[in-house]
Structure 1
Amino acid sequence: MSFSGIFGRIVAMIGAAMILMRRFGKNNEPQAIGGAPVIPEARPQGIPTLKMPTAKGWKDGHTPIAAPDLRVNTFAAGLKHPRWIYVLPNGDVLTSEALGVSTPIRSAFDYAIFATMKRAAAVGVSPNRITLLRDTDGDGVAEARHTFLDKQNHPFGMAMLDGTFYVGNTDALVAFPYEDGATSIDAAGRKLADFKPAGHWTRSLLPSPDGSKLYVGVGSETNIADKGMEAEEGRAAIHEINLDTGESRIFASGLRNAVGMAWEPTTGALWTVVNERDGLGDEVPPDYLTSVVDGGFYGWPYCYWGQTVDDRVPQDSAMVARAIRPDYALGGHTASLGLCWLPAGTLPGFPDGMAIGQHGSWNRSTLAGYKVIFVPFENGKPSGPPRDILSGFLSPDEKHAYGRPVGVTLGPDGSLLVADDVGDVIWRVAGA
Structure 2
Amino acid sequence: MNFFTSNKRLFIPVIVAGLLSACDGNDPESAQHGTNPELPPPERGLLPAMTIAQPAPWGDQQPTVPQGYTVSAIATDLKVPRQMLVLPNGDILVAEGKGGNAPALKPKDIIAGYIKSKGTTSVKSGNRLTLLRDADGDGTYELRTVFADNLNAPYGLALVDNNLYVANQDALVRFDYSEGQTEASGPPTKVTDLPSRINHHWTKALTASADGQFLYVGIGSNSNITERGMIAEVDRAMIWEVNAETGAHRPYATGLRNPTALTIQPGTDQLWAVVNERDEIGPNLVPDYLTSVQEGGFYGWPYSYWGQHVDDRVRPQDPQKVASAITPDYALGSHVAALGLDFSEASMGAKFADGVFVGMHGSWNRENPVGYKVVFVPFRNGRPDGQPVDFVTGFRGDDGKTRGRPVGVTVDPEGALIIADDLSNTIWRVTPVEKARE
TM-score normalised to structure 1 length: 0.93
Q: Relative to structure 1, is the Cα distance of residues 189 and 3 closer, same or farther in structure 2, using a 3 angstrom cutoff?
A: farther
Q: Secondary structure at the match of 2:232?
A: coil
Counterpart CA distance in 2 for 1:86 and 1:362 is 28
Q: Quote the residue 2:436 is aligned against.
A: none
CA distances 1:376-422 after superposition (whole Å, capped 9, x unpaired): 00111111000011001112143x21000010001253211000000
Q: Quote the residue 1:194 is aligned against.
A: 193
Deviates more, 1:116-125 or 1:78-87: 116-125
Q: Quote the residue 1:359 is aligned against.
A: 361
CA distances 1:244-291 after superposition (whole Å, capped 9, x unpaired): 343201100100001111222365421111000000111111111111
Counterpart CA distance in 1 for 2:211 and 2:398 is 46
Q: How far off is 1:68 after superposition?
A: 2.1
After TM superposition, list the pairs within 5 Å mapping 1:295-306 onto structure 2.
Answer: 295-306=296-307
Q: Quote the residue 1:32 is aligned against.
A: 32
Q: Secondary structure at the match of 2:320?
A: helix
After TM superposition, list the pairs within 5 Å mapping 1:87-98 onto structure 2.
Answer: 87-98=86-97
Counterpart CA distance in 2 for 1:5 and 1:146 is 38
Asked if the contact 2:347/2:416 (under 8 Å) is kept, the reply is no
Asked if the contact 1:286/1:332 (under 8 Å) is kept, the reply is yes
Q: 2:21 aligns with which of 17, 24, 28?
A: 17
Asked if the contact 1:266/1:379 (under 8 Å) is kept, the reply is no
Counterpart CA distance in 1 for 2:178 and 2:383 is 38
Q: Secondary structure at the match of 1:65?
A: coil
After TM superposition, list the pairs within 5 Å mapping 1:278-289 onto structure 2.
Answer: 278-289=279-290
Is residue 2:205 matched to residue 1:204? yes
Q: Quote the residue 1:391 is aligned against.
A: 393
Counterpart CA distance in 2 for 1:319 and 1:354 is 30
Q: Relative to structure 1, is the Cα distance of residues 426 and 12 closer, same or farther in structure 2, using a 3 angstrom cutoff?
A: farther
Counterpart CA distance in 1 for 2:7 and 2:136 is 48
Counterpart CA distance in 1 for 2:230 and 2:387 is 36
Counterpart CA distance in 2 for 1:176 and 1:285 is 38
Q: Quote the residue 1:58 is aligned against.
A: 58
Q: Quote the residue 1:160 is aligned against.
A: 159
Counterpart CA distance in 1 for 2:383 and 2:11 is 46
Gaps of 5+ in 1: none
Is residue 2:182 matched to residue 1:183? yes
Asked if the contact 1:52/1:361 (under 8 Å) is kept, the reply is no
Is residue 2:47 matched to residue 1:47? yes
Q: Quote the residue 1:330 is aligned against.
A: 332
Q: Secondary structure at the match of 1:209?
A: coil
Is residue 2:372 matched to residue 1:370? yes
Q: How far off is 1:366 after superposition?
A: 1.1
After TM superposition, list the pairs within 5 Å mapping 1:236-251 onto structure 2.
Answer: 236-251=237-252
Q: Secondary structure at the match of 2:348?
A: coil
Q: Relative to structure 1, is the Cα distance of residues 233 and 122 closer, same or farther in structure 2, using a 3 angstrom cutoff?
A: farther
Amino acid at match of 1:363: N
CA distances 1:132-182 after superposition (whole Å, capped 9, x unpaired): 111122121211111111111100011122322111000110112223222
Deviates more, 1:262-271 or 1:374-383: 262-271
Q: How far off is 1:90 after superposition?
A: 1.9
Q: How far off is 1:39 after superposition?
A: 1.0
Deviates more, 1:173-182 or 1:306-315: 173-182
CA distances 1:175-221 after superposition (whole Å, capped 9, x unpaired): 12223222111412221121222211111111111111111111111
Q: Relative to structure 1, is the Cα distance of residues 3 and 396 closer, same or farther in structure 2, using a 3 angstrom cutoff?
A: farther
Q: Quote the residue 2:74 is aligned against.
A: 75
Counterpart CA distance in 2 for 1:288 and 1:37 is 10
Amino acid at match of 2:321: M
Q: Secondary structure at the match of 1:289?
A: strand
Asked if the contact 1:5/1:115 (under 8 Å) is kept, the reply is no
Amino acid at match of 1:17: S
Deviates more, 1:298-307 or 1:255-264: 255-264
Q: Secondary structure at the match of 1:63?
A: coil
Q: Quote the residue 1:313 is aligned against.
A: 314
Q: Relative to structure 1, is the Cα distance of residues 3 and 412 closer, same or farther in structure 2, using a 3 angstrom cutoff?
A: farther
Gaps of 5+ in 2: 434-438
Q: Quote the residue 1:116 is aligned against.
A: 115
Q: Relative to structure 1, is the Cα distance of residues 129 and 169 closer, same or farther in structure 2, using a 3 angstrom cutoff?
A: same
Amino acid at match of 1:233: V
CA distances 1:298-317 after superposition (whole Å, capped 9, x unpaired): 00000001110000001111
Give aligned-pair identity as a percent: 44
Is residue 2:333 matched to residue 1:339? no
Q: Secondary structure at the match of 1:33?
A: coil
Counterpart CA distance in 2 for 1:336 and 1:74 is 22
RMSD after superposition: 2.0
Asked if the contact 1:220/1:236 (under 8 Å) is kept, the reply is yes
Counterpart CA distance in 1 for 2:320 and 2:260 is 26
Q: Relative to structure 1, is the Cα distance of residues 372 and 7 closer, same or farther in structure 2, using a 3 angstrom cutoff?
A: farther
Amino acid at match of 2:365: N
